[in-house]
Amino acid sequence: MADVTTYREAVAEGIAREMRRDPGVVCLGEDIGAAEGVFKTTVGLFREFGPDRVWDTPISEQAIVGAAMGAAMTGLRPVAEIMFSDFLACCWDYLANEIPKVRYMTGGQVTVPLVVRTANGGGLGFGAQHSQAVENWALTVPGQKIAAPSTPADVVGLMASAIRSDDPVVFFEHKGLFAG
């Protein structure tokens, strides 16, 4: 029987492939290092790439996205994790008003090539503030892309496209798919 890659394993594998390909790819977020993420979507990254490229952050969505923005504007390609999509509201000014507008405001001289990954969706008993599907918030923001992969293969391919994009991408991972 062939090995089956789960959706959650595909997230870590998609990121790892891009980190191996491009030394400018870094990851940041709450508990993504040694703890390997609350949903175990960063398994193996800290072991392989170490603390110089996998950064554990404080519990502050504004700090995570703000640091990712600065890192992207200075030449890195950050992959920032916001643990639950519900908390995109905490850093929404960056995601809707700042990051996607930089290329336009600088006449194309500066880009913000970053990915904001987030666990999305309800119906799994995570509680009211951890169970929303908020991709519609990001759908109409000019200058920003979104991805919402539905299979492990989609995750790997879309992760590569998102990380390689010179435009910001919000990457929605449905919590209900992590086990499959």
Q: Which residues are catalytic?
A: 130
- With contact defined as beta carbons under 8 Å apart, do 131 and 86 qualify? yes
What amino acid occupies position 17?
A: R
Closest of 161, 63, 61 to residue 113, by C-alpha: 161
Q: For the chain, how big is the Rg over CA atoms in Å?
A: 15
H-only helix segments in the chain? 7-21, 45-49, 61-73, 92, 102-105, 135-139, 152-164
Cα 166 → chain centroid: 14
Closest of 123, 130, 147 to residue 86, by C-alpha: 130
The encoded tokens of residue 9 equal: 């394993």
The encoded tokens of residue 53 equal: 């490229």
